[in-house]
Amino acid sequence: MKIAAIHAREINMQLIAPFETSFGVTHHRRILLLEVCSEDGASGWGEVTAAEGPFYNSETTDTAWIVLRNFLAPLLVGKTIETPEETLHYMAPVRGHEMAKAGLECAVWDLMAKCQSTSLSQLLGGTRAEISSGVSLGIHEDIGKLLDRIAQELAAGYQRVKLKIKPGKDVEVVSAVRNRFPDIALTVDANSAYRLTDTALLKKLDAFNLTYIEQPLEWNEIYQHSKLQRQLETRICLDECIHNLRDAQAAIELGACKVINIKLGRVCGHAAARKMQDYCMGHGVPVWSGGMLEAGVGRAHNIAMSSLPGFVLPGDVSASKRYWEEDIIVPPVEVSAQGTIRVPDSPGIGFEVNKRRVEKLTVREEEWTATRSAGGVPVGAS
Ligand code: OSB
Ligand code: MG
């Protein structure tokens, strides 16, 4: 299959409610959508999960656009691809920029699946017809409102609740939630807000029977987590500092975590995610799908990934309506009363991209073709 063009669009979308983490508040999203087109007119969709600012990781919507436009697209357009795994190989000269690469890699997987008239889940080797869904709840000023919100999510069927925490919004909040909901599957996510010197405070969380504590320490630091894990009863789940299979291997060997959150964007796409979950499964480390406040395309890719056998814990992949007035895919992602999402079996990601809605939300678009990139990597090209 020859990649003829890449159509890039930036869409802007308002979140239904602001989402607060230890590193900031998000009100609206600036999302890059990538449509990879083959010579014969078929296309596949990917979503770049970089955030607006470099506060979760170092990428942003704008850095992804530049790197895609000037470096990644030229490496891919005009190439003939037999298997989706080759996509990463072509993009290998570019270091880092995992989320930008993943946007393209995921689009190629969708395209390949469509060309083979098979579902993305099936092409990946997924084994689940439905996946388990949990919710990630932002930091709330008011504990009463947080408790009400949790009650509402549990009533909707969600199987696990994850609370964002930060210094000053931790033990007291978790204690109140545990008191009110003694039996629910409960986790916390610090997004790197603590240091090893906070060990005594973090040990207090051992009292609340949490399924895990997500990314308590530095975003780029595995070793410190191994020191912390030795002192905690609660399992550590790493998110920010796992970028590839080697990071996962190092973290597991060092005892830095006992659970891993896999995000397609952070690990460079489906091929890498699949290898990681396989390795983790072989080492008794449960994994689950994280989320990055994705629109429908990213959400659909997360669902397909979560159908792989290593994804044994509920993910942060929840219903479209928790985020958006109207999603960009049809049908929107829906969650059953049992807290599950059905894995589509129609071709590709299994959801239709609502082009009319996408057009309405688009603030910039460009098409990158082979002609423009003829001559290889246009370093510094504009
Ligand atoms: O750490 O998992 C995270 C959102 C933005 C950046 C980082 C994270 C998150 C979430 C939200 O937890 C997950 C979601 O509902 O998409
Ligand atoms: Mg996280």
Question: Which ligand is nearest the CA of 237, by number?
Answer: 2
Tell me how far the alpha carbon of residue 56 lies from the centroid of ligand 1, in angstroms: 9
Query: Could you tell me where in the chain the CATH 3.30.390.10 domains are found?
Result: 3-116+353-369
Q: Find out whether the beta carbon of 291 lies less than 6 Å from any atom of ligand 1.
A: yes
pLDDT at res. 378: 45
pLDDT number for residue 374: 41
Question: Amino acid identity, residue 318?
Answer: S
Nearest CA to 225 out of 204, 207, 199, 201 is that of: 199
The encoded tokens of residue 200 equal: 């005594």
Check if 351 has its Cβ closer than 6 Å to any atom of ligand 1: no
Contacts of 246 (CB under 8 A, 6+ apart): none
Query: How is residue 347 written in tokens?
Result: 């071709």
Tokens of residue 269, six digits: 């796409």
What phi and psi, each to the nearest 5 degrees, are found at residue 374?
-55, 135
Atom of ligand 1 nearest to the CA of 293: 16
- Six-digit token string for 45: 């969709």
Instruction: Please give the pLDDT value at position 372.
Output: 54
- In whole angstroms, what is the distance from residue 89 CA to residue 75 CA? 10
Strand partners, 288: 261
- 312 contacts 286 by C-beta, under 8 angstroms: yes
Choice from 19, 133, 299, 333 to test ligand 1 binding pocket (greatest atom count within 8 A of CB): 19
- pLDDT given for residue 25 in this prediction: 96
Taking residue 100's Cβ as centre, other Cβ atoms within 10 Å add up to 30
Mutate to test the pocket of ligand 1, among 15, 16, 20, 21 (most ligand atoms within 8 A of CB): 21
Q: Which residues are catalytic?
A: 164, 263
Alpha-carbon distance 40 to 249, whole Å? 40
CA of 189 to the centre of ligand 1 (A): 9
CATH 3.20.20.120 fits 122-352, yes or no: yes
Cβ of 292 closer than 6 Å to ligand 1, yes or no, is yes
Q: Which atom of ligand 1 is nearest to the CA of 291?
A: 16
CA atoms of 80 and 63, how far apart (whole Å): 27
* 59 CA to centre of own chain: 14
Q: What is the pLDDT of residue 370?
A: 80
Q: Are 293 and 263 in contact (CB under 8 A)?
A: no
**If you search the block for the tokens 């932002």, which residue do you land on?**
138
pLDDT at 375: 42
From-to residues of CATH 3.20.20.120 in the chain: 122-352
Q: 38 CA distance to ligand 2 centroid (A)?
A: 35
User: Is the CB of 327 within 6 Å of ligand 1?
Assistant: no
Q: Which residues of the chain have pLDDT under 50?
A: 373-382
Tell me which residue of 271, 278, 244, 298 sits closest to 88, measured CA to CA. 271
**Is 110 touching ligand 1 by the criterion CB < 6 Å?**
no
- Ligand having the closest approach to the CA of 292: 1
Assign domain 3-116+353-369 to its CATH architecture: 2-Layer Sandwich (3.30)
Q: What size, in residues, is the chain?
A: 382
| Residue 228 · residue 202 · CB < 8 Å | yes
For ligand 1, whether the C-beta of 239 sits within 6 Å is: yes
